[in-house]
Structure 1
Amino acid sequence: MNMLIALLLFLLPVLFLLSWRRRGSSRKLPPGSLGIPIVGQSISLLRAMRTNRGEEWLRERVRKHGPISKLTLFGKPTVFIHGQAANKFVFHGDSTMVANKQTSSIRAILGDRNLLELSGQDHKRVRDSLMSFLRPESLKQYVGNMDEEVRKHIELHWLGKEKVAVLPLMKNLTFNIICSLLFGLEERADRDIFVQNFQEMIEGMWSIPVKLPFTRYNRSLRASSRVQNLLKELVQEKKVKLEQRTATPHQDLITCLLSKRNEEDERVVTDKEILHNIMLIMVAGHDTSSVLITFMLRLLSKNPAVHKAVLQEQEDIARGKISGEPLTWEDLARMKYTWRVAMETLRMVPPIFGGFRVALRDIDYGGYLIPKGWQIFWASNMTHMDETIFPEPSKFDPARFENQMSVPPYSFIPFGGGPRICPGNEFARIETLVAIHYLVTQYSWELCSDDHYIRDPMPVPSQGLLLRIVPKKQK
């Protein structure tokens, strides 16, 4: 009897191991190497991006390992997936399997209660609150304010200049628009300090999360703390004005979020969620729109026929205006060709290189196992530059977007997709169209710098896209 028990005790672990191996054989990890713990392939990817070889780096992985592979990025084991099915899985997948979760560096800098981190009912609650201000019906009333900001910017930074570096100027413009229209932050002495801290904060968002004094990550964390302190003061000011009834619920995004209440008269969005989502919108609105406008000017300078068509559309609109009259929502609706140019720019140079999700449980994907807790990494360019989806992908051709229905689902993803589509995309469309209207109708330009750009992690053209500009005679 004792011998039988001993034999069973010996055989049970062996049988369990054999069973586990059989079960695990159909759930193997994707090919590839995790590399050095924490660091992994992070430095290699960042180096490739900073020499504008990020897409090539990813395609080399695909050639070597196939459509799915494992690696380590920014401190965590990661699975890289790509293609239309992968995009659909990321943006419209089962919320019990995949959740929003950015890299630890982004999460530490922007906070853990922003839309990029929230899932399920929390995501819906906060997103619905943001959309109550950012939906087209609400934004219509702000076109005139946007028009005023753009005119003021051109008068201060373009008028009388022979050369301009476009990207820094567009960042200045989009930051001022965000401060004025979204946050109700008027011109004041501490805005320059705010801008400096903000710029330092975003530099370390894609970085290895090592908190040492000399690292980008550490500098960004300190800058993030300073930015949050400034924003807390701003939120508190808005609270006081609402209590004193000297502010209206829809005069800016912050007061709108502070005013949202449920049936029990409780605040819908917490102070922490307001703070973290302000941080997110600042980064998204500042960088993505400034990059889009900059690269539209770059591509227009290289494509005279496209430039001519955009100019004709914008001059037709300008001719219908009384001198000094601001653009209207109806004017923007007529800028169909210009927006197709914007979308083709977003296809070729998407501001967002890629993003991350996290596996909430073990997932079978493409014949491989994505273990619970691992990151899932996707990249925009993998479908944007796929010649089976967009023929001659290196050719700048706005006609691709004449019929939106002809673009396959989950192949064009500069703003994300499905329920995860960027809530600020309409805001970005308005400021882009207003800025392009005044730039193309008031100035001619030619490139003074070379045609190269890097990613850090947003696209940055050589010398900030240096242009020689010539003002047009206003009729």
Structure 2
Amino acid sequence: MNSFLLTIILFLILIFLLLTRTKQCSSSSSTRVPPGSLGFPIIGQSLSLLRSMRANTAEQWLQQRVNKYGSISKLNLFGKPTVFIYGQAANKFIFTEDRSTVANQQTQSIRMILGDRNLMELKGEDHKRVRGAIMQFLKPESLKRYVGKIDEKVRMHIQMYWDGKQHVKVLPLMKTLTFNIICSLLFGLERGKQRDRFLDCFQTMIEGMWSIPINLPFTRFNRSLRESSKIQKMLKELVQKKKIELTKQNNIIASSPQQDLITSLLCMRDEEGKEVITEKEILQNAMLVMVAGHDTSSVLITFLVRLLANEPAIFEAVLQEQEEIAKSKLASEPLTWEDVNKMKYTWRVANETLRMFPPIFGGFRMVVKDIEYGEYIIPKGWQIFWVTAMTHMDSNIFSEPSKFDPSRFENQSSLPPYNFIPFGGGQRICPGYEFARIETLVAIHFLVTRFTWKLCADNFFKRDPMPVPTQGLPIQIWPRKLS
């Protein structure tokens, strides 16, 4: 009983502090702040946005704001005063603005779950240093060596979960596949109890990343924090183990297809022989890569399967491209980097899928000092909220946006910049872009050349915050032979 009363008292104190903070924020920088309401303290419009995302009406919810206030408005999301901006100019502003005025910073819930030393939080030279270290592993020249490994994991996955089956649920299986690939390539973890523990903790952790940051028992946020601590502990044990292995090898490891991301980061040294990236940065960026690589790729592959079931002509065109590649190889011969680069039409289909069903709903930036945007002032300390689909589905940018048309991406360089942003834009494009491309194309290659399928449920999906199809997208499958 005493602990319950203490929790209530602390909660009331938190409300009082946030009320005071909200009043201070709402009165700052004169009356030139954007139009709109900050709503209730702490909660603001968070619950309303989350409800609309789960009902798959979030874009309409935001369009109503645009209709009422224009392309910029203020609101309160996840406990912080926020400005929502929309349009090509807004996207360009987000991805090109100097970091001394608009910096990386996610919501408090994400920051507390993933930490403050990951790429989404780091600024200036720290961001450049850590991004550069991760890009050494994820750049195309390095990823060429990993196509065969991804091929091996996809074949094994199909053999275990697809062959001999009549019905499967696509999304859970794609989450299993992408998690297995991440664990193998990024952490050097193969099948076993340790990897299974990672998966259980990880799935619970990501559920509370978009949530109101009130750390009370039985909330999603509280559960996510607990699982985050467990994952960090397991990763720390893994890092220590790899450090011991490196010490036994005199701290020298040759670059090879077997080298995982953590080993790669541990081996990096500057000109003076000092570590390029700290252990804390390794742990937190490993967690970030887990989230990005697991959810985005699994959702993209799932929606490609969904799309191909509804578009027979597109399925046949993808199948024809993939069969041409398959015919040029022995059945046991793995795909290569050159094979992946031949999958041009399939990647156009994937891009159109990303346009209509982007895995990442949107993101946040933090205002470092008062800045002028349009005719308004965005105060220091506020966050900026941008949403991917708002330009993807804008008829002024993409004609007939509800029509699935892969030909939009025949010449992607001709598209107006900062409108198609599933992986970000400019210098801030996601460093895992090429990894996601390879993972997606290899998976689709084996699915379309080995199976045909039809949907067993309706086409509804919700965002939580990633798009989640009804019942995990159950399908009926039939094996096929190479034509």
| Bin of the TM-score, shorter chain as denominator length | over 0.9
> Shift of the alpha carbon at 1:249?
5.6
The one-letter code of the counterpart of 1:244 is: K
CA distance in structure 2 between the aligned counterparts of 1:424 and 1:59, rounded to whole angstroms: 30
1:18 is aligned to none
CA distance in structure 2 between the aligned counterparts of 1:24 and 1:153, rounded to whole angstroms: 56
1:159 is aligned to 163
Q: Which runs of 5+ in 1 are unaligned?
A: 1-22
1:401 is aligned to 409
- Determine whether 1:359 maps to 2:363: no
Structure 1 residues 148 and 24: CA distance shift in structure 2, 3 A: closer
CA distance in structure 2 between the aligned counterparts of 1:24 and 1:111, rounded to whole angstroms: 30
Structure 1 residues 89 and 249: CA distance shift in structure 2, 3 A: farther
Counterpart contact for 1:249–1:255, Cα < 8 Å: no
Q: What whole-Å deviation, never above 9, does each CA across 1:149-207 have from its counterpart, x for those lacking one?
A: 00000000001111110000000000000000111012221221211100000000000
2:253 is aligned to 248
Counterpart contact for 2:35–2:74, Cα < 8 Å: yes
Counterpart contact for 2:29–2:370, Cα < 8 Å: no
CA distance in structure 2 between the aligned counterparts of 1:209 and 1:24, rounded to whole angstroms: 26
Q: Output aligned runs, 1:44-443, within 5 Å.
A: 44-245=48-249, 248=253, 250=255, 251-443=259-451
Q: What whole-Å deviation, never above 9, does each CA across 1:195-249 have from its counterpart, x for those lacking one?
A: 1100000000000000000210000000100011011001111111111118836
Counterpart contact for 1:249–1:256, Cα < 8 Å: no
CA distance in structure 2 between the aligned counterparts of 1:256 and 1:350, rounded to whole angstroms: 30
Q: What whole-Å deviation, never above 9, does each CA across 1:38-79 have from its counterpart, x for those lacking one?
A: 100000000000000111111011111111000000010000
The one-letter code of the counterpart of 2:449 is: T
User: How many corresponding residue pairs?
Assistant: 452
Q: What whole-Å deviation, never above 9, does each CA across 1:239-289 have from its counterpart, x for those lacking one?
A: 111111188364111011111111111101000100000000000000000
Over the aligned positions, Cα root-mean-square deviation in angstroms equals: 1.2
Q: Output aligned runs, 1:4-83, within 5 Å.
A: 28-83=32-87
Structure 1 residues 234 and 32: CA distance shift in structure 2, 3 A: same
The one-letter code of the counterpart of 1:316 is: E
Structure 1 residues 249 and 62: CA distance shift in structure 2, 3 A: farther
SS at structure 2 position matched to 1:445: strand
1:3 is aligned to none
> Shift of the alpha carbon at 1:474?
4.7
The one-letter code of the counterpart of 1:389 is: I
> Shift of the alpha carbon at 1:324?
1.0
The one-letter code of the counterpart of 2:90 is: A
Counterpart contact for 1:38–1:76, Cα < 8 Å: yes
TM-score by length of 1: 0.94
Q: What whole-Å deviation, never above 9, does each CA across 1:337-366 have from its counterpart, x for those lacking one?
A: 000001000000000000000100001111
CA distance in structure 2 between the aligned counterparts of 1:452 and 1:425, rounded to whole angstroms: 27
Larger Rg: 1
Q: What whole-Å deviation, never above 9, does each CA across 1:351-400 have from its counterpart, x for those lacking one?
A: 00000001000011111110000000000011000111110000000000
The one-letter code of the counterpart of 1:421 is: I
TM-score by length of 2: 0.92
1:9 is aligned to none
1:17 is aligned to none
CA distance in structure 2 between the aligned counterparts of 1:308 and 1:50, rounded to whole angstroms: 33
The one-letter code of the counterpart of 1:452 is: F
1:15 is aligned to none
Counterpart contact for 2:323–2:482, Cα < 8 Å: no
Q: What fraction of aligned residue pairs are identical, expressed as a percent? A: 68
> Shift of the alpha carbon at 1:24?
6.4
CA distance in structure 2 between the aligned counterparts of 1:118 and 1:420, rounded to whole angstroms: 12
SS at structure 1 position matched to 2:230: helix
Counterpart contact for 2:364–2:386, Cα < 8 Å: yes
CA distance in structure 1 between the aligned counterparts of 2:203 and 2:114, rounded to whole angstroms: 13
Counterpart contact for 2:367–2:379, Cα < 8 Å: yes
CA distance in structure 1 between the aligned counterparts of 2:207 and 2:253, rounded to whole angstroms: 35
CA distance in structure 1 between the aligned counterparts of 2:29 and 2:369, rounded to whole angstroms: 15
CA distance in structure 1 between the aligned counterparts of 2:330 and 2:266, rounded to whole angstroms: 39
